[in-house]
Amino acid sequence: MMMSPSDMWRKRMRERRERLDATRHWGGYRQAHYAKSTDTLVVVVEAVPANLDPGDHGETKWYTVCDDHNRLIGHSTLALARYHASAPEEWCEVCGGNEEPDEEAQ
C-alpha cells in the first residue's frame, strides 16, 4: 500500500521525535534539539558520564555533539556548550560545508 504524502510527513515527524527522545538516554545527557540553522540534531552532554575525553586536567567538562555528522566540540562550561548548540555550522565541519559527511553517518 502506498503512503500518502501526509502519512509520510507524519512518519518523518514521528521519527524525528523518536530520535530526539532517544538522546535522553545518552550518558551525560543535558539537552537536545534540532538546530534552527542546520536542522541537525545537536546534543549537549557532560564529558565523563558520556565517556568523552575530559582533557588532561578535567577542564573539558561538556561537549556539544552534532549527531547527524558525528562531530563534537568540548567546552569548560555548560554555558559555552549550550551557546554552541544553537550554531553547529560554526564547529561541525559538515554543517559548515567544509567537509563531506563520513560514510557511516549517512
| Residues of this chain that bind Zn ion (CB under 5 A) | 40, 66, 69, 88, 92, 94-95
Q: What's the closest the beta carbon of residue 41 comes to Zn ion, in angstroms?
A: 9
Report the distance separating Cα 84 and Cα 77, nearest Å. 11
Q: What's the closest the beta carbon of residue 91 comes to Zn ion, in angstroms?
A: 9
For residues 52 and 94, which CB has a smaller minimum distance to Zn ion in the complex? 94
Q: What's the closest the beta carbon of residue 87 comes to Zn ion, in angstroms?
A: 11
For residues 7 and 102, which CB has a smaller minimum distance to Zn ion in the complex? 102
DSSP letter string over 13-56? HHHHHHHHHHGGGSTTEEEEEE-TTT--EEEEEETTTTT----T
Task: Read off the C-alpha cell for 59.
Answer: 577542564
